[in-house]
Structure 1
Amino acid sequence: MRKNFEDKIVETLIDHFCGLKKDISILEKQFQHNTFFNRLKNKRNQLNTVFFKIIVKRLFLVSLLKKFHDYD
């Protein structure tokens, strides 16, 4: 049950970020030469990278804990 819950959370987060990317790509076309928008876009890319690194690390740690728990 916990595995399904974690999978659901990850799917929801990925869907959310994919939706954001779609919305932002439309805005990017409208504001290509706006420096403020470009700075926001760079910050968003940095946050996405950090956010996904956290998710991947958490999932990796959860899988390691499950492996060790299964061996006991």
Structure 2
Amino acid sequence: MEVESLDNAGWFKARASSATGGCLEVAFLRDGRVAVRDNEDLGTPPLVVTQHVWRCWLDGAKNGEFDLPG
């Protein structure tokens, strides 16, 4: 999928994010995939994954598997 085709994908970010940036944005695509991008680096193509991959990542995040070390 071309980056240009994701410009109007319905991006949103977490309510906990600040208005000045520094957060990830997510878009649920019509074909069922999920796109993730850094709102401070819109020149870099978004990461696009399947619903299965997204669910696995969310489960891991909820379980603390991706917490920063320290």
Specify the structure having the higher radius of gyration (Cα).
1
Structure number having the greater strand percentage: 2
TM-score normalized by the length of structure 1: 0.28
Structure number having the greater helix percentage: 1
